[in-house]
Structure 1
Amino acid sequence: MNDLNMDPKPHYMKWQVIALLDFVTIISFENIFYPFQNQGLSVVVSWIFLLFAYVIPYELIVSQMSLTFDNQSGGLASWVRHGSNDTLGYWTSWMYWIQSVPYIVDVSNSVIVSFSWIIFGNNSLDRRMSTFSFGLLTFVIILIFILLENVFKNSLEVLSLIGGGAMFVMSVLFVLLAGYAVTHGAHIATQPMNWAAFKPTFSLKYFSTTGLLIFAMSGAELAAPYIVQMRDPKHEFPKAMWLLALMTAFLTIFGTLSLAVFFNANHIPHDFKMNGPYYAFHLLGQSLGVGKLLMYIFAVVQAIFMMAQLAVLLDASSRVFAGDVADKFMPKWLTKTNKNGRPIHSYTMTTGLSLFLLLLTGTLPNINTIYNWLLNINGIISPYKTCWVFFAFIAVRWQDKKFHSEYTFIKNRTGALLVGGWCLAFTFVCATLGFIPQEAAFGTKLFDHQLLLNFITVIVLFGMGFVMPILRKHEINKELN
């Protein structure tokens, strides 16, 4: 018998699964709520502008970079390392990994909120639970998921399919049913709903909140380490990115218009970012005569979706962190893997830094403020990380003759460099403006407190990156002696 027939059949990930996997990590139904609260109906113009001037170029850049380095396990870190040098590759891997920590805490918070709506059926979580209990429960959820990551195989793909698919269905359902409600006599809450209502007001607050839009739409490069699991990456990966862009466009533009049906864009509830999605499905259910049914269905889907995000984040970010980092920068103990190939000590550091963030949130007055502050932190740190995508693209296109890709975004070198440079500059400026607190008035104690927390968080999370090479150098000296 031919031994080749005994080889197990290879398992390939379909491009639709890759798109859903990225959809899980990039944007969800709740991601349209905080931009709506920050910018009102004018955010529709922001979404459309970003779609064509930023999102589509971004995701096609990811396609080219992923196919240029399709044999590298480190994803974005590999792109920068091979396009420039080991030092910048290290900083990319560190920033990519560290930006996931606030998001992990934020997603864990969302898991608690979703279960509170399933159990209580209302927005009473802030009254029922202290900030200490909220932080403790968040920490427990993170620990549980880290343990589950190392017990269940294929949990990533299964949860992504269930969570991403169900959330996209619920998002489409909300838009379609909102349209149905309007055509059958439902009153539109935002008045007047004319062209003037969509006109952006260009101010410091407007630009300081744009980082959250970038945070909501970025993350396509998380799929890069999984490109080796595709049957035909050359044709399938760009398809996945286009599908991702279409899903993102549908949710952001039509989802926002649907919100304007049920909420007055000029008078939005103060806890809209935390509880808005549940309010939305509650109001939709009332307009259709089914009471709280849709709200409970959404709460269950949201819980599954958020748990899927935790699975993806804990798996993919740790793979990037340990996958392709120069030996001289990272301590051996941090990149050590267990018998399942998991970088177990990077999970330990994730837990410790999550605890640090939770201690900071304990200084804030209530759960709603904690929820909003963590969102704003993500609007700073995540765009700074995204800058490396465009830096890597510029570095590769600058050295066109050195690198070959099965797919090329903008064949003209000058045009490619201009687009990459625009995306890099825009992302960096929006991230920097994100330091300005968005939920507190200038000059108040809460504004000063949140501004201080923003700087402390960024300095500690990014500053830890300076510590790792020092520890590695000490480790090498110890080995030599």
Structure 2
Amino acid sequence: MTVCYDGLPTAWTQFATLVVFLFFCWVASRGVPVLKSLATVAGSSMFIMSILFIIMMFAAPAINPHAGFYNINFNWKNLMPTFNVKYFTSLSILVFAVGGCEKISPYVNKVQNPAKNFPKAMMALAIMVMVSAILGTFAMALMFDPKVVNANLNEYISNGAYMAFQKLGEYYHVGGLFMYIYSWCNVIGQFSTLVISIDAPLRMLLGSKEAKAFIPEGLLKLNKHGAYINGIWMIVILSGGLIAIQALVPNAQAVMAQLVKLNSTTMPLRYLWVFAAYVALRKQQKKFETSYQMTKHQGLAYTAGIWCFLVTAACCIFGIYSPDPFTLFLNIITPIILIVLGLILPGIKKYQESKAN
């Protein structure tokens, strides 16, 4: 299935991607109730599949001991990474991998008793991600030779999860059953992530009371479902342009690898604004009322905010580099366009106010 997809002309795959993207932009325009249903099903199915994969993979050597598993050598030399250019330029992927929970921040006030339940949900989320990632890494180390993975990196980036479930099915003599189950769960999960990635940033950007002072009036327009319809159109233009330009990339595997690299640099860069804002808010915390805080100790709060800012900035700066000129160009131009857009919108708002007066 993945080989067939990877063999398609890039223009076809990008056209299909554009169609799916436009459809889910329409879904996002239907408002929060649709998002809630999608997110519940997607989150539950993917987490269950992750846990089942880990349990069944660790059980596989006992059930099928002659299936050709790789030995994990837990010595210090193997556990320590090689500190070279490739290592430092891939750190941003780690930051990207543990990110994402900020997307639910616009929905905090919709949680029952948010001061108590939201921090609990964040702790549970962090623990689930940590356990799943660590145990999943050990499980996959039994399945794949690192030398083969490094020699075919684009293939494993785009198809690695499917290959893992395919191998798991072979260990249990059920063929591709697990891969097909995972595929459908992943479809639901990715569609849910896509819709939330469209809706949540718009609510963060446009939903605050302060937005009216900096955002053009047209972008603040809500449709009858409570979605920022013109904001969705803005996303269609920005993301649609990126999808179109990637039709020039040689194959689908290269597109996937390029998108992972682009996401791992562009998305964590936005966290810099969050950490800077956090430190600034802590300096002026007496002016604001909040129901919950990470810590009441100012020194610890400053240390956490500044440390997160510096580590994220370093990882993203290193991550921008790529030996491929087109990937390097996208990694540089995309953050610039988004920053310029952030500077232009307040300017348009100021112009509208001056014209009105």
TM range (shorter): over 0.9
Task: Give the counterpart letter for 1:458 in structure 2.
Answer: P
**Which residue of 2 is the match for residue 421 of structure 1?**
306
Per-residue CA deviations over 1:380-400 (Å, capped at 9, x if unaligned) read 111111122222221222234
1:221 Cα deviation from its structure 2 partner? 2.5
Matched, 1:401 2:282: no
Task: Give the counterpart letter for 1:422 in structure 2.
Answer: W
**Which residue of 2 is the match for residue 465 of structure 1?**
342
SS at structure 1 position matched to 2:287: coil
- Where structure 2 has 5 or more consecutive residues not aligned to the other structure, the ranges are none
Matched, 1:287 2:177: no
Task: Give the counterpart letter for 1:150 in structure 2.
Answer: S
**Which residue of 2 is the match for residue 234 of structure 1?**
115
SS at structure 2 position matched to 1:214: helix
Aligned match for 2:295, one of 410, 427, 452: 410
1:412 Cα deviation from its structure 2 partner? 2.3
Matched, 1:203 2:88: no
SS at structure 2 position matched to 1:266: helix
Kept in 2: contact 1:215–1:382 (CA 8 A): yes
Q: Equivalent residues in 2 for 1:261-300 (5 A)?
A: 261-268=142-149, 269-270=152-153, 271-300=155-184
Kept in 2: contact 1:190–1:264 (CA 8 A): no
SS at structure 1 position matched to 2:320: coil
Aligned match for 2:38, one of 135, 142, 159: 159
Aligned match for 1:342, one of 207, 227, 233: 227
**Which residue of 1 is the match for residue 138 of structure 2?**
257
Distance 1:379 1:435 in 2: 9
Task: Give the counterpart letter for 1:126 in structure 2.
Answer: D
Distance 2:308 2:231 in 1: 30
Matched, 1:187 2:68: yes
**Which residue of 2 is the match for residue 133 of structure 1?**
12
**Which residue of 1 is the match for residue 203 of structure 2?**
319
Q: Equivalent residues in 2 for 1:370-381 (5 A)?
A: 370-381=255-266
Per-residue CA deviations over 1:368-427 (Å, capped at 9, x if unaligned) read 111111111111111111122222221222234333433333332112211211111111
Kept in 2: contact 1:189–1:262 (CA 8 A): yes
Distance 1:390 1:180 in 2: 42
Matched-pair identity in %: 32
Distance 1:420 1:320 in 2: 20
Structure 1 residues 406 and 349, CA, compared in 2 at 3 Å: closer, same or farther?
closer
Kept in 2: contact 1:191–1:264 (CA 8 A): no
Distance 2:221 2:113 in 1: 32
Distance 1:372 1:276 in 2: 12
- Where structure 1 has 5 or more consecutive residues not aligned to the other structure, the ranges are 1-120
Distance 1:276 1:469 in 2: 43
Kept in 2: contact 1:163–1:308 (CA 8 A): yes
1:193 Cα deviation from its structure 2 partner? 5.7
Kept in 2: contact 1:234–1:407 (CA 8 A): yes
Distance 2:71 2:206 in 1: 49
Structure 1 residues 329 and 402, CA, compared in 2 at 3 Å: closer, same or farther?
closer
Kept in 1: contact 2:261–2:319 (CA 8 A): yes
1:135 Cα deviation from its structure 2 partner? 1.3
Structure 1 residues 190 and 368, CA, compared in 2 at 3 Å: closer, same or farther?
farther
Distance 1:464 1:407 in 2: 32
Kept in 2: contact 1:163–1:301 (CA 8 A): yes
Distance 1:221 1:450 in 2: 26
Kept in 2: contact 1:190–1:265 (CA 8 A): no
Structure 1 residues 326 and 234, CA, compared in 2 at 3 Å: closer, same or farther?
closer
Distance 1:470 1:313 in 2: 26
Distance 1:169 1:264 in 2: 26
Task: Give the counterpart letter for 1:310 in structure 2.
Answer: L
Kept in 1: contact 2:46–2:185 (CA 8 A): yes
SS at structure 2 position matched to 1:351: helix
The RMSD of aligned alpha carbons is 1.9
Kept in 1: contact 2:275–2:305 (CA 8 A): yes
Distance 2:48 2:315 in 1: 31
Matched, 1:123 2:3: yes
Query: Normalising to structure 1: TM-score of the pair?
Result: 0.69
Per-residue CA deviations over 1:18-52 (Å, capped at 9, x if unaligned) read xxxxxxxxxxxxxxxxxxxxxxxxxxxxxxxxxxx
SS at structure 1 position matched to 2:148: coil
**Which residue of 1 is the match for residue 245 of structure 2?**
360
**Which residue of 2 is the match for residue 479 of structure 1?**
356
Query: Normalising to structure 2: TM-score of the pair?
Result: 0.92
Kept in 2: contact 1:360–1:453 (CA 8 A): no
1:191 Cα deviation from its structure 2 partner? 6.1
Task: Give the counterpart letter for 1:244 in structure 2.
Answer: L
1:199 Cα deviation from its structure 2 partner? 1.2
Kept in 2: contact 1:155–1:311 (CA 8 A): no
Which one is further off, 377-386 or 390-399? 390-399
Per-residue CA deviations over 1:89-120 (Å, capped at 9, x if unaligned) read xxxxxxxxxxxxxxxxxxxxxxxxxxxxxxxx
Kept in 2: contact 1:335–1:345 (CA 8 A): yes
Matched, 1:387 2:272: yes
- Paired residues, what number? 351
Distance 2:123 2:300 in 1: 21
Distance 2:290 2:218 in 1: 35
1:310 Cα deviation from its structure 2 partner? 1.6
Distance 1:182 1:413 in 2: 50
1:238 Cα deviation from its structure 2 partner? 1.1
1:287 Cα deviation from its structure 2 partner? 0.7
Structure 1 residues 191 and 124, CA, compared in 2 at 3 Å: closer, same or farther?
farther
